[in-house]
A and B are shown apart, each in its own frame.
Chain A
């Protein structure tokens, strides 16, 4: 069997049923072999979106998303998608074609050192020069991507290697002597953590993206019903806390909820569950950790003590650690603290909308309230994202956004990936007119592959988030006007996607019923360019 055929067999053996990609000369042997497989290939319109689609696919399916590109520019176009996946710990396997191995290093046509280029933001990468290694490399790649702290893993295969003869043999086990991620928490540390919780007056749990990585949503709910402590979450942790949990305060951080930020500051014990306490969640971790005990649960030891000092570090898989911790503790509640929390729960930032135009918050609140449980929402980066993060409340719903990297253009391809993984779930992509124009080419992917995604496009003819930053910190706007943007409704219709524009609150009902129709749709929501994300008073 040829290596390229073995590559396809490896994907099948790894359980891959869909992949996102873009062919080119150096990956053609693989594509030729793919033609004989049942694996569904979704042709994206630029490689970066293959990686984002694989990310969306991974996040909702729990399977490892796979994307494919050719050598040189095909591979380098993937980079933002790989970096975004790395920052958000998304399992992903990336296949790239490479120029002939005998030509490597000679700067031949479409040669790029992709394993070198992605090195700073990839979990691991392989350049396969020996055809006998192909099956082992694939096995290891899927294992590395999905285990421990998940992340992207790249396999670069030169074209001549793809065409060589090899023997297909899918290894049963993985033996990587240098890689043994811990799963269960150290019992001594669990005991110390339990002791600290028992002795706390004002404990709070902060849930991060790690809840999803470890599939800990359910056990988190159980833990919080046994130990009734209030809970906040990060942007990556949106939807991580089951909606049935009572003492929820919402998202912390620069763009978070006032009550959540007040409560986390006031707590005397902070239980970090699968969050690295990134700078947008906690701009001043030294200040936050003052006068409180910090228990930090993370599967990646390097995250513990990196951004915030931890009194009780617990390295392990969050699901198992929460299980262990729950067993160690008796049912407990904190009545005084709970009363204080109820006060925080009613703390909202003042409404800041420009009168007479659509208030994005009101629109999104009503929109989310009408969604089916389990709906999937993707959000881009910018004002649209912030408006959405604050309003998103969908039982069992998922909210996918590029948290760590803040990669514009993520929403549509991620929605394509999510819808591919979960065709039964409604999938909505929330964009701004800036980010939409970074991935609008994927409208063709949506049509070609019949992937019905609903797009909510907030249009204010601005790069709104940058505009706000400039207004608040520099006093004038530059390079944020999106003059020259197309008529988005006609653009969508040109792709055969039904589209509608609204600019008044009275049109909400019509918009919601438009979104309920079968198939893809684009809803353009006109927003006043002056519409902010944060109240102006915060800057005065």
Chain B
């Protein structure tokens, strides 16, 4: 099952390498990883999606907690969170199918951000699963390039992951 971990970290040099190194050396697989600053100065949030086939969540959780720069973390089951990923996708296009592709993008809720004589670049933001589906739909036209940010996630409802006082 895919699990999502939100990790609040001190925004210091090396913190990402510490997290990545921990996953690598202990053999935990990262599905995706997204990082960015939070509303709190000096604190970043790392969203990690893990494929937990070997029931390693407990160890991942505990080992991450041991990193001094990790302030707090929480793991979420898929139904507990709202998860979004940004996709930038460049597909082959020509005068004949340009309309069809743009219609597809519009229907799916994507946005066209660049058009050339033989390509269209679409920006698409949705859950990782739907991003996956959209890529499959585009594959028909031939993919030039696919760039994904990895999922960012936030808990449903009023709950929040906050720093302790």
Q: Check if B97 is an interface residue, CB within 8 A of chain A.
A: no
Q: Which stretch from A15-23, A116-124, A440-448 is at the chain B interface? A: A116-124
Chain A CB within 10 Å, residue with most, of B10, B59, B68: B68
From residue 304 to 350 of chain A, which have CB atoms closer than 8 A to chain B? 305-306
Q: Check if A127 is an interface residue, CB within 8 A of chain B.
A: yes
CB < 8 Å: which of B13, B21, B59, B69 contacts A127? B13
Mark B64-76 against chain A: 1 for CB-CB distance below 8 A, else 0.
0110111110000
Q: Hey, which chain A residues are within 8 Å of B65, CB to CB?
A: 301-302
B118 to chain A: closest CB distance in Å? Answer: 40
Q: Given A144-B68, A177-B163, answer yes or no on A302-B59 (Cβ-Cβ < 8 Å).
A: yes
A177 B66 Cβ-Cβ under 8 A: no
Q: Hey, which chain B residues are within 8 Å of A61, CB to CB?
A: none
B58 A179 Cβ-Cβ under 8 A: no
Q: Given A115-B14, A120-B21, A177-B163, answer yes or no on A302-B62 (Cβ-Cβ < 8 Å).
A: yes
CA distance A301 to B17 in the complex (A): 23
A178 B68 Cβ-Cβ under 8 A: yes
Q: Check if A510 is an interface residue, CB within 8 A of chain B.
A: no
Residue on A nearest B71 in the bound complex, by CB: A178
Interface size, A (range): 10 to 19
Q: Given A116-B17, A120-B21, A177-B71, answer yes or no on A302-B10 (Cβ-Cβ < 8 Å).
A: no
B53 to chain A: closest CB distance in Å? Answer: 18
CB < 8 Å: which of A178, A300, A301, A306 contacts B69? A178
B94 to chain A: closest CB distance in Å? Answer: 45
A302 B71 Cβ-Cβ under 8 A: no
CA distance A301 to B66 in the complex (A): 9
Q: Check if A176 is an interface residue, CB within 8 A of chain B.
A: yes
CB < 8 Å: which of A115, A119, A300, A305 contacts B66? A300
B62 A301 Cβ-Cβ under 8 A: yes
Q: How many residues of B contact A (CB 8 A)?
A: 21
Mark A110-153 against chain B: 1 for CB-CB distance below 8 A, else 0.
00000110011001100100000000000000001000000000
B17 to chain A: closest CB distance in Å? Answer: 7
CA distance A305 to B69 in the complex (A): 23
Q: Hey, which chain A residues are within 8 Å of B59, CB to CB?
A: 302, 305-306
Q: Hey, which chain B residues are within 8 Å of A144, CB to CB?
A: 68
CA distance A302 to B64 in the complex (A): 9
Q: Check if B84 is an interface residue, CB within 8 A of chain A.
A: no
Q: Hey, which chain A residues are within 8 Å of B62, CB to CB?
A: 301-302, 306
B164 to chain A: closest CB distance in Å? Answer: 7
CA distance A300 to B10 in the complex (A): 21
CA distance A302 to B21 in the complex (A): 17
Q: Check if B117 is an interface residue, CB within 8 A of chain A.
A: no
A79 to chain B: closest CB distance in Å? Answer: 15
Q: Hey, which chain B residues are within 8 Å of A115, CB to CB?
A: 14
Chain A CB within 10 Å, residue with most, of B25, B62, B63, B66: B66
A177 B164 Cβ-Cβ under 8 A: yes
A537 to chain B: closest CB distance in Å? Answer: 37
Q: Hey, which chain B residues are within 8 Å of A123, CB to CB?
A: 68
A146 to chain B: closest CB distance in Å? Answer: 14
From residue 60 to 96 of chain B, which have CB atoms closer than 8 A to chain A? 62-63, 65-66, 68-72
Mark A89-119 against chain B: 1 for CB-CB distance below 8 A, else 0.
0000000000000000000000000011001
CA distance A144 to B63 in the complex (A): 16
B23 to chain A: closest CB distance in Å? Answer: 12
B26 to chain A: closest CB distance in Å? Answer: 10
A179 B14 Cβ-Cβ under 8 A: no
CA distance A179 to B68 in the complex (A): 6
Q: Given A177-B164, A301-B62, A302-B59, answer yes or no on A119-B17 (Cβ-Cβ < 8 Å).
A: yes
CB < 8 Å: which of B10, B17, B25, B58 contacts A178? B10
B89 to chain A: closest CB distance in Å? Answer: 34
CA distance A302 to B163 in the complex (A): 22
Residue on B nearest A115 in the bound complex, by CB: B14
CB < 8 Å: which of B17, B63, B68, B163 contacts A124? B68
Interface residues of chain B, those whose CB is within 8 Å of chain A, are 9-10, 13-14, 17-18, 21, 25, 58-59, 62-63, 65-66, 68-72, 163-164
Q: Could you name 27 residue pairs across A and B whose Cβ atoms are closer than 8 Å? A: A115-B14, A116-B17, A119-B14, A119-B17, A119-B18, A119-B21, A120-B21, A120-B25, A123-B68, A127-B13, A127-B14, A144-B68, A176-B68, A177-B163, A177-B164, A178-B9, A178-B68, A178-B69, A179-B68, A300-B66, A301-B62, A301-B65, A302-B59, A302-B63, A302-B65, A302-B66, A305-B59
5 shortest A-B CB distances, which residue pairs?
A302-B62, A178-B71, A124-B68, A301-B62, A120-B25
Known pairs A300-B66, A305-B58, A306-B59; list 20 more (Cβ under 8 Å).
Answer: A116-B17, A119-B14, A119-B17, A119-B21, A120-B25, A124-B68, A127-B13, A177-B163, A178-B9, A178-B10, A178-B69, A178-B70, A178-B71, A179-B68, A301-B62, A301-B65, A302-B62, A302-B65, A302-B66, A306-B62
